A and B are shown apart, each in its own frame.
Chain A
Amino acid sequence: METKRADTVAAQSRFPLREVLLFAAVLLAVLAVYAAMGPAYSTRMLVEAACYAILALGLTIQWGYAGQFNAGVMGFVALGGFCAMFFSFPINPDFWESELPGELGLALLYMIAAVLVVFGATRLDRIGVPKKLRTLLAVILGLVLYLVVVNAFRGVTDQIESRAGFVGGLGLPVGVGWVVGGALAGGVGYFIGRVCLGLRSDYLAIATLGIAEIIKAFLKNSDWLTRGTATVSPLPWPVPGPAEVGFTLARALYLSVTAVMIAAIFFLLSRAYHAPWGRMIRAIRDNEISAAAMGKDINKRRLEIFVLGCILMGIGGAALASFNSMFDPQGYLPLNHTFLVLVMVILGGPGNNLGTIFGAVAVYIIWIMSAPMALYLMDLAMALGAGLGWETPTNMDSRALQARVFVIGLLITLVLRYAPKGLLPEKVRHHG
């Protein structure tokens, strides 16, 4: 009875034809872009694609390894970008030489004290206060202290805006901002995960969608911290900038930094994937109930993987903001920073790191090239329409770009329908 079904046997030393072909196609596309657009532009595109690959790796471990859908990648990216700005931007002497840092510190102290008091109030039942009274007390204290703290902050931040412009950076090395960006994104992810991961998976999608909009609203409106819509630039690079060594070389150096990061993340993720921990994660994804019956702590593992993914998104977002050399809270769009990453992951192959990187580079090239392409097609349509006596609206250019939104949406639905495992599916080893 040794009839083995093809899918239960690990294809051991199969020549990875599909991988080679797909990556060759991407290489060809990159070369074509180099030939058409010149090295400076193309290297820029590659660096951005590399940053997106880090984001996509973050999403692929959430979606591919653990089946959690994060609909708010943008928020974590923005947090990472903010940290890259805040830690690496030069110090603002107008702010630090006034008495404002002290006042801001005082407001922060107020906030910490208020949080401690409210937290203490929620624990009052330990010393014999009835639970209902405790809840009432905690809620009232929370409301009042919240108003006090908000007013304290409002006073200080208005002062900062009018006298110093904004807080400025800390002037630390770029890497510090990237690491803290990852940590901050992970912290927010921990909070969301604690709330949602024990519930239906849809709730996580709703909550992440919400937190992303909130983070964006906060960064956009906190003029004292981020200069809001006025944007902060230029951010320093971790490598010599274009002014010193020229555009192409500087971008190539940056590319090598991101490539090293991707290689390190890739290596660590592969190790984790094949380790007992990774097996446990996949067991939970594939059958939660049986994994729970085996004694696995499902919610804790889920939280771990969600936070890990968010950390990667924060780091990727920080690298992206540093590379753009500008922090613009309004530039964070759900389309560019959430759905594009989603397409990269589900097209490349969720759960397969190599597939995800392939998806990131391939989709990013298509995305970048689609703008001129859409405009060209629109011009063509307009020429046709003019021939038929059709009166074309004036703002056709901005509308043509909206067509890309449609294409991304269509791509998501088509991939889910016809290639749910992506172009490079996750290789599940069965020992049959």
Chain B
Amino acid sequence: MNELVFFINNVVIAGSVSGSIYAIGAVGVTLIFSIMRFAHFAHGDMMTFGAFMVLLLATAFPAAGDAFGVPSALVLLPLAMALTALLAVGIDKAFYKPLRAHGVKPIVLVIGSLGVTLMLQGLIRLFAGTSGQSLYIDDRKEIFRLALPFEGARAPVVITEPQLYLFVITLVAVIGLHVFLSRSRLGKAMRAMSDNPDLAQASGINTNTIVAVTWVIAGGLAAIAGTLLSLDVTFKPDLSFFLLLPIFAAAIVGGVGHPFGAVAGGFVVGFAETLAVFNWSVLLRPFRDSLPSWLLESGNLAFVGTEYKIVVPFFILVVILVWRPTGIFKGKVI
């Protein structure tokens, strides 16, 4: 039974954690892709920026969470989301809007977003240094150990406090987004614009508002993803570059322009990563008597080492681009 617990800890929980992070990130990317038709490379750094804002605020008000009994980082998250959304809208006004007004090809916007990535990275590193920092300023990270009610399961299932928050907030964010996109006027207008921008404009939708709303949502979600990731591990200024590929892979797997596809894609990529680095010989150990010995001798049956984790999203990306470039849910933008 211990092997099963090991599997739950290392695959189910770890996969859900990275899957949730990728899902929230990919939703933002896919929304931007469907409204503005370009791959937004600065998304990873918007996440870092959100986490950095939380770090700053939590350092300034370390006691903010005491009244609610939660870490202050979580209480200050809405403020950081607002700041990140503001940054996203500002970046759009300053850098992307002029390019769009010139009528450039989408790929030029991609290059522009790479420029923005570098600027954000430079600024964050300038102020935050290059080392990792914990977002838990005064609070203690709770770790829950759940013992399984089975005979022989000595090792507990381990889940930490930020991981629980992550699952809850992901769920709330996805449901909230669904309600917004399907019920509210603005959400419907967004969907109309992603279907056909010219037609949307002709039918009286203010495209500038829609673009701004998209940036607000994308910025807020990016702040959530960045903060929760940094809560779970630590805040690192160079977090973003390793997030970019899985997030894009998730968005493309789910079908670009398809928010729920992006959520599904995020979990596909997250679980694929953890399954690929999981050492399968652990699960074979209970059956060691009935299996040929050469299978167990090597002792390491992981598909890729952890140092090659980045190969997994790339592999998924290549497979999906070859096999079905529109993604599993048939995205609108190819």
* A contacts, CB < 8 Å to B: 67, 69, 71, 143, 146-147, 150-151, 154-155, 195-196, 199-203, 205-207, 209-211, 213-214, 217-218, 220-221, 334-335, 339, 342, 346, 393, 395, 398-399, 402-413, 416-417, 420
Contacts and interface: CB of A to CB of B under 8 A. Distances in A.
Most buried by A among B104, B121, B122, B125: B122
Contact of B126 (A335, A403, A411, A416): A403
B245 A147 contact: no
Given A196-B321, A416-B99, A416-B112, A67 B107 contact: yes
11 contacts: A147-B303, A195-B321, A205-B107, A217-B311, A221-B305, A335-B118, A409-B114, A409-B118, A409-B121, A412-B115, A416-B111
Contacts of B104: 416, 420
Contacts of B126: 399, 402-403, 406
A154 B279 CA distance: 14
Nearest to B313: A210
Most buried by B among A154, A342, A393, A402: A402
Contacts of A151: 298, 300
Interface in B96-145: 98-99, 102, 104-108, 110-112, 114-123, 125-126, 129-130
B169 interface: no
B65 interface: no
B125 A405 contact: yes
A399 B119 CA distance: 14
B39 interface: yes
A334 B114 CA distance: 11
B317 A206 contact: yes
Contact of B310 (A214, A404, A411): A214
B147 interface: no
A201 B105 contact: yes
Interface of B: 33, 38-39, 41, 95, 98-99, 102, 104-108, 110-112, 114-123, 125-126, 129-130, 241-242, 244-245, 248, 252, 298, 300-301, 303, 305, 307-308, 310-311, 313-314, 317-318, 321-322, 325, 333-334
B80 to A, nearest CB: 21
B130 A146 contact: no
A69 B111 contact: yes
In the complex, the 9 A-B pairs of residues with the closest C-beta atoms, listed nearest first: A409-B118, A406-B122, A412-B115, A405-B122, A409-B119, A202-B39, A413-B115, A402-B125, A210-B314
Contacts of A143: 303
B125 A409 contact: no
B108 A420 contact: yes
A199 B125 contact: no
A403 B321 contact: no
Contacts of B41: 71, 205, 209
A119 to B, nearest CB: 15
B321 A217 contact: no
Given A393-B129, A405-B125, A221 B118 contact: no
Given A154-B300, A203-B321, A406-B122, A213 B334 contact: no
A405 B245 contact: no
Nearest to B308: A217
A205 B123 contact: no
B114 A339 contact: yes
Nearest to A71: B114
Given A214-B314, A413-B119, 13 more contacts: A147-B301, A202-B110, A203-B252, A205-B39, A205-B41, A209-B245, A210-B245, A214-B310, A217-B307, A399-B125, A399-B130, A402-B121, A405-B122
Contacts of A409: 114-122
Nearest to A398: B130
A221 B99 contact: no
B115 A202 contact: no
Contacts of B106: 200-202
Contact of B118 (A154, A220, A346, A405): A405
